[in-house]
Amino acid sequence: MKITITKNEEEFDITAAWRIIGQMLEKKNAVIGLSTGQTTMGMHRIVSEIHAKYPFDVSAITLFNVDELTNLPREYAGSCYTMIMNQIAGPLGIPEENFIMPPTLSDDFEAESLLFEKRLAERGGADLQMLGIGSNGHIGINQPGTPFESETWVSPMDPDFEARVRRETQVPAGTVLGGLTRGIKNIMHTRKVILIAKGAHKAEIIEQAILGPVTTDIPASVVQLHPNCEILLDAEAGARIERYARGRGYCF
């Protein structure tokens, strides 16, 4: 497990962007998993800006997101499809057939979960997963308590996040919201995982996930067992593990 702690948020965004670009340049038909949220907006913008200034071939690159909200219109600004499309897939001109996402509306999400994984497997599986971490340690939408052997499924949302989504979308109270997410087992089968976090509010959970025991109480802790994993943090998110990282000669 490699740990990279950048000097600030700007350096974090640039470093993370080049991890994505590096994978694209290294393997012309790479399959790359992304995440959405405040952590990833800057890195996606930089990837798009660099590609616009110095175009490189992405015609065979496949992009997907680690999860997607369910029972909401795909057009909702907070849907993972819309965010990834607007932030990176659209600006790069990724062909529609190479942007693999499950639907937000379906009568059979179990079948959609299987189809999502089948489409990724047909392309050789995921080469890289940029993996966010929630304040409670969730990865994808695999909340605390999710078994490590879980496979792609529809998980309940974090209650605070669900409340925000309901306010923004005004969905009927009876509509069950959730998220179709790659399971922890599927995530761990990715060839390279980069766990990303920035901001002081992530420092405590990063310490628990990286220096604490591997436990389903903190799903992100499982990355300690991944054979090719990097922990990429800005200075604030890495503040509580900096001494540990420096003592082992990790990159800064």
Give residue 24's pLDDT.
98
Tens of pLDDT, residue by residue over 22-54, are: 999 999 999 999 999 999 999 999 999 999 999
Q: Which residues contact 152 (CB under 8 A, 6 or more apart)?
A: 113, 114, 116, 117, 180, 181, 182, 183, 186
Burial 238-250 (b: 16+ CB within 10 A, else e): bbbbbeebeeeeb
Q: Which residues contact 56 (CB under 8 A, 6 or more apart)?
A: 21, 24, 25
Give residue 251's pLDDT.
72
Q: Which residues contact 138 (CB under 8 A, 6 or more apart)?
A: 144, 146, 158, 219, 220
Tokens representing residue 227 in the block: 């054979």
**pTM metric for this prediction:** 0.96
Give residue 87's pLDDT.
98
Give residue 248's pLDDT.
78
CA distance 21 to 13: 12
Residue 3: Cβ within 10 Å count: 23
For every residue of 112-151, DSSP letters joined together read: HHHHHHHHHHHTTS-SEEEEE--TTS-BTTB-TT--TT--
Give residue 3's pLDDT.
96
- The burial of 207, by beta-carbon neighbours within 10 Å (0-12 exposed, 13-18 middle, 19 or more buried), is given as middle
Give residue 249's pLDDT.
73
- Residue 69's nearest CA partner among 97, 41, 33, 36 is 36
Tens of pLDDT, residue by residue over 61-77, are: 999 999 999 999 999 99
- The burial of 180, by beta-carbon neighbours within 10 Å (0-12 exposed, 13-18 middle, 19 or more buried), is given as buried
pLDDT string in tens for the chain (252-residue length): 899 999 999 999 999 999 999 999 999 999 999 999 999 999 999 999 999 999 999 999 999 999 999 999 999 999 999 999 999 999 999 999 999 999 999 999 999 999 999 999 999 999 999 999 999 999 999 999 999 999 999 999 888 889 999 999 999 988 999 999 999 999 999 999 999 999 999 999 999 999 999 999 999 999 999 999 999 999 999 999 999 888 877 776
Give residue 173's pLDDT.
86
Give residue 98's pLDDT.
98
Give residue 247's pLDDT.
83
Q: Which domains does the chain have, with CATH numbers?
A: 2-247 (3.40.50.1360)
CA distance 196 to 13: 10
Q: Report CA-CA distances (Å) from 64 to 31, 38, 128, 187, 220.
A: 8, 18, 10, 12, 20
